[in-house]
Structure 1
Amino acid sequence: MNEYELLDSGHGRKLERFGQIVLDRPCAQAVWSPKNQNQWKQADAFFTRKKGLEWRGRDQLPDSWIATVNGIKMKLSTTDFGHLGVFPETRAMWDWITETLVTEAPKRKEPMNFLNLFAYSGGATLAGAKGGAHCCHVDASKGMVQWARDNAKLNGLEDHPIRWIVDDVNKFLKRENRRGRRYDAILLDPPSFGRGKGGELYKIEHALLETLDLVKGVLSERPCFVYLTSHTPGFSPIVLKNLIQQLLGKGSFESGEMLLTGAPETYPVPSGTWARWKP
């Protein structure tokens, strides 16, 4: 079941449906003209960054609501920065994670360990859980980790083996290395700029190489995949592919753009990049 749809895009905006709620938000890469201007009248709320950060119509929306995105129930809420608690461009990745883990599981005697770094509201963590993996969800924001736990409960996965960790990612990885903990599948979505649990500054151009080196250190002897995503301008699919190819050497490498999609006649909107490795 899927209750997300890109309805239209253009003139630097995107019109999306999340369950019964339709939102009009900024989208810098949508430089073309909208296909159906009349469709935009159905928006329940509008977010703009032109004069600061402002929602229009937000007071008419519920404080939170539930939408099923590619089979995963997600709690959504409008934030002051225009985010909702889900990045729907990652939903194809969720499907790939679940399918890959399900396919690999019969070849293993024990459940696989899946590590989700910079894990946000947990869509990919729950995709890993649906694939049967034991999961570890790491994010520096206590509020986002609680949001992810709420999403696990919505999906009946509150009792699934998931470790919920509030910590700076690099500090966490160093600790896991020292403890000898290893993971069979790893996803990381590093921010362009962020703060760790203790206020540590994370700037992707300076910190990512260290993060990747630490990721390599916690990979198991029989890894399933490493998946790297980015929303940072300039970090193209080839940049991400080069990074993990340099890190991991031989294997199978793929890369591409993450897309917002809707009906076949709707222009897909590029919204980030990805690269992945399998042995």
Structure 2
Amino acid sequence: MYIARDWKDYEVLDTGGGEKLERWGDILLRRPDPQIIWPLQKETPAWRDVHGHYHRSSSGGGQWEMKKPIPENWTLEYGKLKFHLRPTNFKHTGLFPEQAANWSWMMDKIASVKRPISVLNLFAYTGGATVAAASAGASVVHVDAAKGMVQWAKENLQLSGLGDRPVRFITDDVFKFVQREQRRGSKYDAIIMDPPSYGRGPGGEMWKLEQSLFPFLESCMSILSDKPLFLLINSYTTGISPTVLENMLAMTMKPRYGGRLTSGEIGLPITASGLNLPCGILGRWEA
């Protein structure tokens, strides 16, 4: 498991009973997590003394119960990187802290080569990977279909003092964008993708990860440069093994470029128990 251990501003304090207790800077939040199927060992006062508690609805979705006032948004730091946070209607805060394990990896990869690196970040959300890659010296194209998420990513880049870096923010359907890049002959040295489990394209096209990921990955091969640096796939789709992602990279990247493949779970340390909380999976190809 790849563990994001280097946080100072973020912490999973405790877990149990289908929930996690988290510290986001000075803000304590209590949120549900489907991986936490073990009971809570001891309900400490911190579980009740939270700023916000997200309750799932039996009919789907859910809502926040705010117990203490919090700012409209606040800032979290990871090394030199800074991110705006705010609770969303879908229980998230705009950041997935476990992804710091990937940020550190890609920053090291980019900084280790003595040539310009162009990165394409697909399904890029609020830009954690975009900010990390830009901070390491890469030029980045950030693509997400949600206008609000792209604006949020722009804020994070500025907040990190990287507003002058060569980053293009594109609000567009990811699949259509890749097709246009193919026609333009555009090339990238690294691709990051965090595809959804389900979704619909602008023409009503159905995306289901199990059926759509491999052909989409194949389509991305034509926009890689002759000397790519890495390709990273993240997934939060339940039931998919990390080996599935590694196998896909073995069938696409390995025959063309050689290199090294790795895969595994990604997670966060739990302070109270010393255990690790699984948060998703990844597959990596690197030169």
Give the share of equivalent positions with the same residue, in percent: 43
Q: Aligned pair count? A: 275
Q: What does residue 18 of structure 1 align with?
A: 24
Tell me which amino acid in the other structure corresponds to 1:15: L
Match of 2:82 among 69, 73, 98: 73
Query: Which structure has more RCO (C-alpha within 8 Å, separation ≥ 6)?
Result: 2
User: How big is the shift at 1:248?
Assistant: 1.2
Instruction: Assess if the C-alpha contact under 8 Å between 1:141 and 1:197 holds in 2.
Output: no
Tell me which amino acid in the other structure corresponds to 2:86: S
RMSD value, Cα: 1.8
TM-score, L = length of structure 2? 0.90
Instruction: Assess if the C-alpha contact under 8 Å between 1:170 and 1:214 holds in 2.
Output: no
Tell me which amino acid in the other structure corresponds to 1:27: D
Alpha-carbon distance change, 234 to 57 in structure 1, aligned in 2, over 3 angstroms: same
Match of 1:41 among 37, 41, 48: 48
The DSSP-based 3-state class of the residue aligned with 2:152 is helix
TM-score, L = length of structure 1? 0.93
Q: What does residue 223 of structure 1 align with?
A: 228
Q: Distance in 2 between matches of 1:116 and 1:57?
A: 34
Alpha-carbon distance change, 230 to 68 in structure 1, aligned in 2, over 3 angstroms: same
Match of 2:57 among 45, 50, 53: 50
Q: What does residue 4 of structure 2 align with?
A: none
Alpha-carbon distance change, 87 to 220 in structure 1, aligned in 2, over 3 angstroms: same
Give the 5 Å matches for 1:113-262. Answer: 113-196=118-201, 200-249=205-254, 250-262=258-270
User: How big is the shift at 1:264?
Assistant: 8.0
Q: Distance in 1 between matches of 2:197 and 2:118?
A: 27
- Structure 2 residue runs without a partner (length 5+): 1-6
User: How big is the shift at 1:214?
Assistant: 1.6
Q: Distance in 2 between matches of 1:13 and 1:183?
A: 40
Q: Distance in 2 between matches of 1:123 and 1:223?
A: 21
Q: What does residue 32 of structure 1 align with?
A: 38
Q: What does residue 89 of structure 1 align with?
A: 98
Q: Distance in 2 between matches of 1:129 and 1:214?
A: 25
- Structure 1 residue runs without a partner (length 5+): none
User: How big is the shift at 1:63?
Assistant: 1.6
Instruction: Assess if the C-alpha contact under 8 Å between 2:270 and 2:277 holds in 1.
Output: no
The DSSP-based 3-state class of the residue aligned with 2:40 is coil
Tell me which amino acid in the other structure corresponds to 2:141: C
Tell me which amino acid in the other structure corresponds to 2:250: Q
Q: Distance in 1 between matches of 2:137 and 2:107?
A: 8
